[in-house]
């Protein structure tokens, strides 16, 4: 019986091919927008979640300035000092503490100058600790050693097409008249800023930047078994007592992750809401088409009832027909949405934003097509009820 329902519905849609195609456009556009944009948003969310998990949720970032706002050159008006580092090291529950100086500089290689970030870190901090702090590691060469002075470790952007002559192991880079030799290459992070950073030894880096006891930011990790949020609160309290005011920000990676995820969910909700307008328009289009179909096929309905078709049979035929309109729109929308998502991923990759890659899981396909079928069926409910309630005699006399 259901096979016959589908056969009749398919025959009716095929006989009105142009109208059926125009009807599904609203569903098609809405689903294409949802699939492409949600796939990109989900892909970015997965990347961020993976990155945060890789780094670990025991990380605490202490940034100077009111609200953690950095000043010009990477230093705040009242930067941290080595005394602040010692205060943090004494806080109960703190495991590792790593001060860092960051600044935007001009980096010269093979006669070309490019902008990049310089990160100054203490030489005694091993590659394992840097990996624990930042979640990336030296993949070629070696990390900085205690004895290093003119050595640097560089991000992957320098190995790419930043310069006409690619940077390799043992290449020479010049920063503010000081020449450094590349001893290590970092694995890709996916964020342009981090992948465009070079790391230099503490004493030499401070000499290059011309800074004294200042520290741009401080990273810390909590010991196993300690509540990271409690440790962060203790750091905030101890620093405020030492500095006399709270002119800094203390954030845990878990808090930052939750904020980023909440923002991304809000954006995704907005995107879906905007696409829903197109789906509503598509649903209205299906309803209008089905009402027209009922009028055009009134005599056919009367004949079906005259030969024994029940109201439920008539209603099912029209519901399946409207559901098929929605499903076709959903399938076409998924195909186009996937194509758009892949194109946006390629564009993001070419722009150096490797994190922006679509997540085209089967759940997105199934959910989108199922939702399209539901929208189509719901839109055809009232026309189907009208068709089912037609009186056989009046339907047969309708012209």
What is the spatial distance between Cα 203 and Cα 333, in angstroms, rounded to a whole number? 58
Over residues 185-206, the pLDDT tens digits come to 887 766 666 778 888 888 888 8
Q: Would you say residue 339 has pLDDT above 60?
A: yes
3-class DSSP assignment, residue 26: helix
**Residue 70, pLDDT score:** 47
Q: Could you tell me which residues come within 8 angstroms of residue 52 by beta carbon, excluding any fewer than 6 positions away?
A: 253, 256, 257
Identify which has the larger pLDDT, 310 or 125. Answer: 310
**Residue 172, pLDDT score:** 93
The segment with the largest mean pLDDT, out of 28-42, 61-75, 129-143, is 28-42
Over residues 100-134, the pLDDT tens digits come to 888 889 999 988 898 888 988 886 665 555 555 66
Q: Would you say residue 74 has pLDDT above 60?
A: no
Pairing outcome for strands 178-186 and 151-154: parallel
Across the range 325-347, mean pLDDT stands at 85
Across the range 17-33, mean pLDDT stands at 79
**Residue 125, pLDDT score:** 60
Does the pTM of the predicted model rise above 0.85? no
Across the range 162-170, mean pLDDT stands at 88
Over residues 255-296, the pLDDT tens digits come to 877 777 787 778 778 877 877 787 788 888 888 888 887 777
Across the range 336-346, mean pLDDT stands at 84
**Residue 182, pLDDT score:** 92
Identify which has the larger pLDDT, 168 or 344. Answer: 168
The DSSP letter of residue 262 is H
Q: Could you tell me which residues come within 8 angstroms of residue 30 by beta carbon, excluding any fewer than 6 positions away?
A: 275, 276, 277, 278, 279, 281, 282, 333
What is the spatial distance between Cα 60 and Cα 273, in angstroms, rounded to a whole number? 36
What is the spatial distance between Cα 21 and Cα 24, in angstroms, rounded to a whole number? 5
Q: What percent of the chain has pLDDT over 90?
A: 10
**Residue 135, pLDDT score:** 56
> What distance lies between CA 44 and its chain's CA centroid?
2
Q: Would you say residue 71 has pLDDT above 70?
A: no
Over residues 372-388, the pLDDT tens digits come to 888 888 888 888 888 77
Q: Which residues pair with 200 in a beta bridge?
A: 120
């Amino acid at each position: 019986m259901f096979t016959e329902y589908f056969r009749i519905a398919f025959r009716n849609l095929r006989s009105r091919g142009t109208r059926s195609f125009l009807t599904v456009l609203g569903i098609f556009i809405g689903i294409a927008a949802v699939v492409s944009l949600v796939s990109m948003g989900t892909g970015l969310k997965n990347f961020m979640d993976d990155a945060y998990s890789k780094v670990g949720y025991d990380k605490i970032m202490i940034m100077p300035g009111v609200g953690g706002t950095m000043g010009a050159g990477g230093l705040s008006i009242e930067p941290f000092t080595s005394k602040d580092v010692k205060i943090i090291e004494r806080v109960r529950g703190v495991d590792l503490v790593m001060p860092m100086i960051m600044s935007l500089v001009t980096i010269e290689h093979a006669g070309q100058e490019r902008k990049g970030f310089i990160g100054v870190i203490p030489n005694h901090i091993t590659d394992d600790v840097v990996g624990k702090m930042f979640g990336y590691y030296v993949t070629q060469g070696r990390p900085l050693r205690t004895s290093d002075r003119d050595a640097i470790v560089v991000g992957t952007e320098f190995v790419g097409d930043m310069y006409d002559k690619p940077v390799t192991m043992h290449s020479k880079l010049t920063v503010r008249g000081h020449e450094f030799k590349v001893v290590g290459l970092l694995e890709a992070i996916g964020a342009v800023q981090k992948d465009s950073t070079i790391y230099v030894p503490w004493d030499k880096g401070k000499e290059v930047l011309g800074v004294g006891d200042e520290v741009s930011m401080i990273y810390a990790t909590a010991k196993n078994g300690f509540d990271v949020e409690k440790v962060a609160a203790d750091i905030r309290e101890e620093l405020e007592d030492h500095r006399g005011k709270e002119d800094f920000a203390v954030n845990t990676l878990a808090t930052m992750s939750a904020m980023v995820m909440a923002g991304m969910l809000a954006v995704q909700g907005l995107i879906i809401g905007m696409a829903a307008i197109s789906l509503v328009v598509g649903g209205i289009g299906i309803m209008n088409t089905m009402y027209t179909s009922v009028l055009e096929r009134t005599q056919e309905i009367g004949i079906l009832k005259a030969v024994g078709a029940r109201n439920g049979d008539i209603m099912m035929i029209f519901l399946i027909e409207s559901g098929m309109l929605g499903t076709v729109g959903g399938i076409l929308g998924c195909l186009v949405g996937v194509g758009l998502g892949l194109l946006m991923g390629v564009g993001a990759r070419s722009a150096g934003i490797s994190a922006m890659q679509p997540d085209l899981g089967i759940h997105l396909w199934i959910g989108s097509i199922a939702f399209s079928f539901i929208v189509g069926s719901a839109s055809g409910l009232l026309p189907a009820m009208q068709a089912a309630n037609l009186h056989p005699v009046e339907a047969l006399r309708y012209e």
